[in-house]
């Protein structure tokens, strides 16, 4: 992803999460947006908004092929948080369909948790991106809570513990919501250049592009601010330019 | 689900999680097992092992229709943990496909987290079951951690806080791993008869049926101990009998 971002001069990851609709229409809209927007983005992120109605090995794979034609890496935002036996199968299916990376929740833990996901990813040379602090209002309830550090026995914050796991487990990315720029700054001070920060929540959710980039976000995940814009290409270009000129 | 369990005299929820294989074969195996096992179970739980290869509105819906014919309620084990905008869509698709309940992770919080899931469920008279303590080795890392209670400012345990959320949010069930019977006991002392405990992890994962039921599990979620048995019907009947005679 890094070389695509550098070559194209963009750090925008398109979140293709169209609202409910007939499958055929969802596929058409998705294809249309991707065709318009691809010059301004460095990756494509897909979520259950497309997987459930279109089917992974059906409509979603068509979108993945289009992304590949355009030279775009693809991320499945499945937020894996099941037992290892199931997590492994989930990761295998998404990688088999063509995704380059999956997003997972470190809350589920390592042993019989995310270890199998990292193993599958490593064997197939794909990526695992960990949730560290999400972008919604309720995020402080879990991601922001104070927890006891098992090593020091002192208090720490959940997202600080998750950032540490991202380092320990050699994750390929960490998600921190653009709606909490001070958390991006804190997480970036832990991860430095070892694990890049992906930041969702600019636009529809209220996050500020400049503040997120200044705080240390390497990639901005943008959905509705592009997909619902009257001119998605123009919106993507504008957001790219704001992010590039921080 | 309660009346099905009472009428049939069984507390076994079948987890239909077959291993990787060709979609057509997965559908055949699933149908075959369900045809054999249905007299001994009170509900069917499906996970991504079927949704990803078969497609929700394709093969999975065929299995759901068969379950409905047999009078079995169905649970989608999607462990919802995304932002509310996406969680709502996930819940809507699963309910539209015919599921009676979805499983969700309370870690994501209420506001813009699980609130939309409970709203959708309530409007469609479906259920939401919350994860309280999972069954795998790594569960203590997150579910077992010590956290600061936001109300009392004192220390509490994550799963105790989750059990409290299950009460506050009026969940229709709470998942506690059979591999941790002492956690079932503790959670049951909080939930009492208000929220039934669903307990996965007997059999392949090593949980003991009697210990789980004695500790307060109302339903046992059983997968591989039935689906991989030489005679799935016999295995289901045996597990049902052990659970009924505690």
Instruction: Look at B138 and A17 and tell me if their CB atoms are within 8 Å.
Output: no
CB under 8 Å to B2, separation ≥6 — which residues?
Answer: B196
- Assign 3-class secondary structure to B184-211: HHHHHHHHCCCCCEEEECECCCCECHHH
B interface test, pick of A22, A46, A79 with most B CB neighbours within 10 Å: A79
Q: Cβ contact (<8 Å) for B77 and A82?
A: yes
Whether residues B79 and A81 touch (CB distance < 8 A) is answered with yes
DSSP for B119-179, please give it: HHHHHTT-EEEEEEE-SSTTHHHHTT-EEE-TTT-SEEEHHHHHHHHHHHTT-SEEEE-TT
Predicted confidence at residue A200, as pLDDT, reads 96
> What mean pLDDT is reported for chain B?
96
- Of residues A138, A156, A177, A49, the one with CA closest to residue B94: A49
> How many other C-beta atoms lie within 10 A of the C-beta of residue B243?
21
Task: Tell me the per-residue pLDDT of B177-196, one tens digit each, with 9 for 90 and over.
Answer: 999 999 999 999 999 999 99
- Residues from chain A that touch B89, judged by Cβ atoms under 8 A, are 17, 19-20, 48-49, 52
Residues of B in contact with A61 (CB under 8 A): none
Of A57, A79, A107, nearest to B142 by CB-CB distance is A107
Which pLDDT value is given to residue B203? Answer: 82
B81 contact residues in A (CB cutoff 8 A): 79, 81, 105
> How many whole angstroms separate alpha carbon B114 and alpha carbon B95?
15
Structure tokens given for B73: 């309620």
User: What CA–CA distances, in Å, run from B75 to A194, B13, B194?
Assistant: 40, 9, 19
pLDDT for residue B214 = 97
pLDDT in tens, B165-179: 999 999 999 999 999
Which phi and psi angles does A220 have, rounded to 5°? -105, 125
Q: Which residues of A touch B179 (CB under 8 A)?
A: none
pTM (2 d.p.) = 0.97
Question: Would the CB atoms of B113 and A82 count as touching at under 8 Å?
Answer: no
- Place domain A2-244 in its CATH homologous superfamily: Aldolase class I (3.20.20.70)
Distance from the B20 Cα atom to the nearest Cα atom in chain A, whole angstroms: 7
Please tell me which residue of chain B has the smallest CA distance to A162: B142
Q: How far is B72 from chain A (nearest CA, A)?
A: 23
Task: Using pLDDT thresholds of 50, 70 and 90, give the confidence band for residue B149.
Answer: confident
CB contact under 8 A, B110 and A141: yes
C-alpha span between A82 and B136 (Å, rounded): 9
What is the distance between the alpha carbons of residues A54 and A158, in angstroms, rounded to a whole number? 35
Q: Are A227 and A241 in contact (CB under 8 A)?
A: no
Which of A86, A135, A141 lies at the smallest CB-CB distance from B49? A86
**pLDDT value of position A150:** 74
CA-CA-CA-CA torsion sign (A203, A205, A206, A209): negative
DSSP state, B11?
-
Residue B19 scores a pLDDT above 90: no
Instruction: For B93, name the nearest residue in chain A, comparing CA atoms only.
Output: A52
Q: Tell me what the pLDDT averaged over chain A comes to.
A: 96
What is the CA A221 to chain-centroid distance, rounded? Answer: 7
Residues of B with catalytic function: 79
A56 to chain B, minimum CA–CA distance in Å?
Answer: 6
CA of A221 vs chain B CAs: smallest distance (Å): 14
CB contact under 8 A, B82 and A47: yes
Mean pLDDT of B6-14: 96
Please determine, for the modelled complex, whether the ipTM score is greater than 0.90.
Answer: yes
Closest chain A CA to residue B47: A86
pLDDT in tens, B36-91: 999 999 999 999 999 999 999 999 999 999 999 999 999 999 999 999 999 999 99
Q: CA of A225, closest CA in chain B: separation in Å?
A: 14
Q: Tokens 């069917």 label which residue?
A: B44
**Angle at the Cα of B198 (from B196 to B201), degrees rounded to 5?**
160
CB A133 within 8 A of CB A180: yes
Which residues in chain B have Cβ-Cβ distances shorter than 8 Å to A49? 86, 89
Nearest Cα residue in chain B from A59? B55
- B chain contacts of residue A108, beta-carbon cutoff 8 Å: 134, 136, 138, 141-142
Residue whose C-alpha is closest to residue A94's, from A114, A71, A74, A109: A74
Instruction: Give B122's Cβ-side CA count (13 Å radius).
Output: 9
% of chain B with per-residue pLDDT over 90? 92
pLDDT of B105-135, one tens digit each?
999 999 999 999 999 999 999 999 999 999 9
User: How many C-beta atoms lie closer than 10 Å to residue A186's C-beta?
Assistant: 20
Measure the CA angle with vertex B34, ends B215 and A89; round to 5°. Answer: 75
What pLDDT score was predicted for residue B48?
Answer: 97
Model pLDDT, residue B150 = 74
Query: Which positions of chain A have pLDDT values less than 50?
Result: none
pLDDT given for residue A153 in this prediction: 81
pLDDT of residue A15: 97
Greatest Cα pair distance in chain A: 54
B232 phi and psi, to 5 degrees?
-60, -40
Residues of chain A with Cβ-Cβ distance to B142 below 8 Å are: 106-109
Which of A149, A158, A193 shows the shortest CA–CA distance to A173?
A: A193
**Hey, of B142, B205, B222, which one would you mutate to test binding to chain A, going by the most A CBs within 10 A of its CB?**
B142
Residue in chain B nearest A150 by alpha carbon: B145
Locate the domains of chain A by residue range: 2-244
Q: Which chain B residues contact residue A158 at CB under 8 A?
A: 147
Which residue of chain A is at minimal alpha-carbon distance from B109?
A138
pLDDT at position A118: 98
A136 vs B109: CB contact, 8 Å cut-off? yes
pLDDT of B16 reads 96
Chain-centroid distance of CA B25 in Å reads 24
């Amino acid at each position: 992803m890094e070389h695509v971002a550098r070559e194209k001069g963009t750090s925008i990851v398109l979140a293709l999460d169209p609202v409910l609709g007939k499958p055929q229409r969802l596929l058409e809209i998705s294809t249309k947006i991707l065709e318009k927007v691809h010059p301004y983005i460095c990756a494509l992120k897909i979520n259950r908004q497309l997987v459930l109605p279109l089917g992974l090995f059906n409509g979603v794979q068509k979108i993945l092929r289009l992304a590949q034609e355009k030279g775009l890496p693809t991320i499945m935002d499945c937020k894996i948080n099941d037992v290892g036996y199931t997590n492994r199968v989930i990761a295998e299916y998404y990688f088999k369909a063509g995704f380059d990376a999956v997003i997972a929740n470190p809350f589920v833990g390592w042993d019989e948790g995310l270890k199998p996901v990292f193993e599958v990813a490593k064997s197939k040379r794909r990526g695992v991106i960990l949730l560290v602090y999400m972008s919604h209002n309720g995020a402080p309830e879990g991601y922001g809570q104070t927890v006891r550090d098992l090593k020091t026995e002192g208090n720490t914050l959940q997202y600080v513990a998750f950032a540490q796991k991202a380092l320990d487990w050699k994750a390929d990315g960490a998600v921190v919501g653009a709606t909490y720029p001070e958390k991006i700054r804190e997480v970036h001070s832990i991860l430095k250049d070892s694990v890049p920060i992906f930041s969702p929540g600019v636009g529809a959710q209220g996050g500020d592009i400049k503040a997120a980039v200044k705080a240390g976000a390497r990639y901005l995940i943008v959905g509705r601010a592009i997909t619902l814009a009257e001119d998605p290409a123009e919106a993507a270009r504008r957001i790219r330019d704001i992010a590039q000129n921080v």
